[in-house]
Chain A
């Protein structure tokens, strides 16, 4: 397989010696979070200078590649099976017509020169592989979705000489090639990992060592933060960043392995009860927020005809910092699936015309209803009644909706009534007016607000459905997440009859609309609409809020009523940026937790692994406190 056919003498050319499909990037120093968990191909390649590297390429790059007339790539991509060997040679030419897309995608390739590789190890049932070019730091972690890493390791051993360490049979130390020092002394900055978001670097450093006693870790972490934030700003007298980081991490890594405890499960009657839950969460990284997506940036991300070319980039920028006020009304249309990203200005104009007509057709349907008709149409009457009542008590303190006979209230009502015609089965449900109010306030336009509302409702329709299954499910997911992130608090809630999380019903129903000012809710919503960094991020917002109140709940021994009261009283007292930052930190803790249950993986849209074998069944996770399950109301929802 690792055929060594000749390589033409072209710049930037390389040859795949071995390729493995279906490899997830689990962690990597200096990578934007969006890259994590993306799927790709892990390869051993030979470079034009005969040096060799391990390369991981995201699948979307492969797609792009196949577009640019490389047949074999296309084949590799479409096979989509566990493994494929590169047949002979494949040319990759980066010169020539490199599109912007291509360049960005190319930047996402991870390359580990074999000369620099120091150690690697295989864990998790042979499904996970980690690489290190520095003692004490596992810089990259890959997960082999299909099959396992055995063949890759075997192949790799053809190119490097390895020895197994004595204390750990899964860890391989590379003994050759080992051109030593110079390479290893390169600073992180030189290795070009600071070009991406610095915070990700911080995070990944941390995520690569398993948890140790909390305090020590946090101490180490704060040092790390200092180094990474300030260390690379060119303070010349300073030690090499990489060295310091490596030192810190090496110091902790060995102890950590021993410090980790495992979830103990004992069998009790028919069910498994979780006796000790030690989620082994790594410390929470502090992730600063970014600046809002500006007009200039936004325009720069479009082509001359108005197509948004960098959708992922846009989403990521919005996730990181939200959207500047000046373009918010425009960008929301995209985020809410009203405007497709790929449409030109001209196409959007046509679309807008079409949607406007559609809207007024639906509006006419109810507007033309006579009183007599209405009197024989109870269901319609009921909905109309509800809408009227709620419009009169929606955001009336905001100047836009304040005062008697405010015309904007009529627009609010018209949109909601038209939505009743658009989706009569769902009709009008309380909370919808809360969802619509900020949209209309921002757009100031009936048609646009309507279609944006439709887009938002598509995302959260299950919240409003008759059976409330969507809400119940989310409350349960929230509980499960909290049980993992903050078991102490989750257990406190359970003890106080609040395990059903009903106190957070309002949060989830209208996506925290009642908890924040208009300004802040706009920021929160646009971030949540990006769908980053994972599915159901809004639940992590909930976890972040609760986690911040943990000490209050526990130290004051809050009971059922106090918990509800306290949660309700948090309204308008929350700092949106802080919460977003904490929620993102929690996300990072979760994804790098070594024993994240499948159930949580599913909630967050992560691939399941089913790490645990026989004991860790569904049963124990569905009921985090089996022994008290019924009396705490889980079955009630």
Chain B
């Protein structure tokens, strides 16, 4: 079977409507930005394969509609996701306050060990800013989640945000692998495809991360 990747990670973008989830995904998957993007109805996903420490990691990134009443539908897609990007809009106070609700939502619907990350998007709009970077950082500390400010428009930190989340997932997975199966034999790791090269190196990349 000619699989073109070593790992498949399922990621999810959530956050209020209009914070820029679709734009972030579009930036990451197509490296483009479109001011007049259409609003998301229902659910969609995009694929991008990245190279992580010599491994091909296929990211399947799910984009959801933000409005609260569509949550029944969107939460159905939480299942099986390994990483979640929580997005707010730095020019919109309310979207920041709602991050707490979104976290609760994750706790109720996603698996307990899902990797999370908070993104404060639209940081290019300095003049309209309502949420300071410090408040974002504070929230992240409170929840023990990584945080970064992004701009889908100016292509700022979008790339590194996804790489970071993907690395975290990979590390966690490999750690689990090692713990449950020190001999290196294939285990029920789910998305792992080449188990034999698994336990090569410890997760030293953490130190390289410039994020909080």
Q: Is the CB of A468 within 8 A of B76?
A: no
Query: Per-position contact with B for A475-517: 1 when CB-CB < 8 Å, else 0?
Result: 0000000000000000000000000101101100110001000
With A430-B17, A430-B67, A561-B60 known to touch, is A502 a contact of B76 (CB < 8 Å)? Answer: yes
CA A430 – CA B72 in complex, angstroms?
Answer: 15
Q: Is the CB of A505 within 8 A of B41?
A: yes
Q: Is the CB of A509 within 8 A of B39?
A: no
Question: B59 CB to closest chain A CB, in angstroms?
Answer: 13
Q: Is the CB of A430 within 8 A of B36?
A: no
Query: Per-position contact with A for B59-98: 1 when CB-CB < 8 Å, else 0?
Result: 0100001110110110011000000000000001010000
B interface majority secondary structure:
loop
- Residues of A within 8 Å of B69, CB to CB, are 429, 464-468
Query: Per-position contact with B for A423-446: 1 when CB-CB < 8 Å, else 0?
Result: 000000111011000000000000
- 8 Å CB contact of A386 from B43, B44, B67, B77: B67
- Residues of A within 8 Å of B35, CB to CB, are 392
- Residues of A within 8 Å of B67, CB to CB, are 386, 429-430
User: What residue in chain A is nearest B41 (Cβ atoms)?
Assistant: A506
Q: Is the CB of A505 within 8 A of B39?
A: no
Whether a CB of chain B sits under 8 angstroms from the CB of A396 is: yes
Number of residues from A at the complex interface, CB < 8 A: 38
Q: Is the CB of A386 within 8 A of B41?
A: no
- Residues of A within 8 Å of B43, CB to CB, are 502-503, 505, 564
- Docked complex: B164-189 residues within 8 A CB-CB of A: none
With A382-B94, A386-B17 known to touch, is A506 a contact of B70 (CB < 8 Å)? Answer: no
CA A472 – CA B66 in complex, angstroms?
Answer: 18
CA A397 – CA B77 in complex, angstroms?
Answer: 29
Whether a CB of chain B sits under 8 angstroms from the CB of A633 is: yes
Q: Is the CB of B72 within 8 A of A468?
A: yes
Whether a CB of chain B sits under 8 angstroms from the CB of A161 is: no
Q: Is the CB of B17 within 8 A of A500?
A: no
- Residues of A within 8 Å of B44, CB to CB, are 564, 568
- Residues of A within 8 Å of B38, CB to CB, are 393-396, 514
CA A355 – CA B72 in complex, angstroms?
Answer: 37
With A393-B36, A433-B39, A500-B76 known to touch, is A564 a contact of B45 (CB < 8 Å)? Answer: yes
CA A147 – CA B72 in complex, angstroms?
Answer: 45
Question: A110 CB to closest chain B CB, in angstroms?
Answer: 46
CA A506 – CA B39 in complex, angstroms?
Answer: 11
Question: B62 CB to closest chain A CB, in angstroms?
Answer: 9
Q: Is the CB of A561 within 8 A of B72?
A: no
- Residues of A within 8 Å of B66, CB to CB, are 430
Question: A433 CB to closest chain B CB, in angstroms?
Answer: 7
Whether a CB of chain B sits under 8 angstroms from the CB of A636 is: yes
Question: B37 CB to closest chain A CB, in angstroms?
Answer: 5
Whether a CB of chain B sits under 8 angstroms from the CB of A390 is: yes
CA A397 – CA B37 in complex, angstroms?
Answer: 9
Q: Which 8 A-B pairs have the closest CB atoms?
A: A396-B36, A389-B18, A506-B42, A505-B42, A506-B41, A430-B67, A393-B39, A466-B69
Q: Write the residues of chain A forming the contact surface with B, with a CB cutoff of 8 angstroms.
A: 382, 385-386, 389-390, 392-397, 429-431, 433-434, 464-468, 471-472, 500, 502-503, 505-506, 509-510, 514, 561, 564-565, 568, 633, 636-637
Q: Write the residues of chain B forming the contact surface with A, with a CB cutoff of 8 angstroms.
A: 17-18, 35-39, 41-45, 60, 65-67, 69-70, 72-73, 76-77, 92, 94
Name 24 interchain pairs, CB-CB below 8 A, sorted by A: A385-B18, A389-B17, A389-B39, A390-B17, A390-B39, A393-B39, A394-B39, A396-B36, A429-B69, A430-B41, A430-B66, A430-B67, A464-B69, A467-B69, A468-B69, A468-B72, A471-B73, A502-B42, A505-B41, A509-B41, A564-B45, A568-B44, A633-B76, A637-B72
Other A-B pairs beyond A392-B35, A468-B72, A506-B42, 19, CB < 8 Å: A382-B94, A389-B17, A389-B18, A396-B36, A397-B36, A429-B67, A430-B17, A430-B39, A430-B66, A430-B70, A464-B69, A468-B69, A468-B73, A502-B73, A503-B43, A505-B43, A514-B41, A633-B76, A637-B76
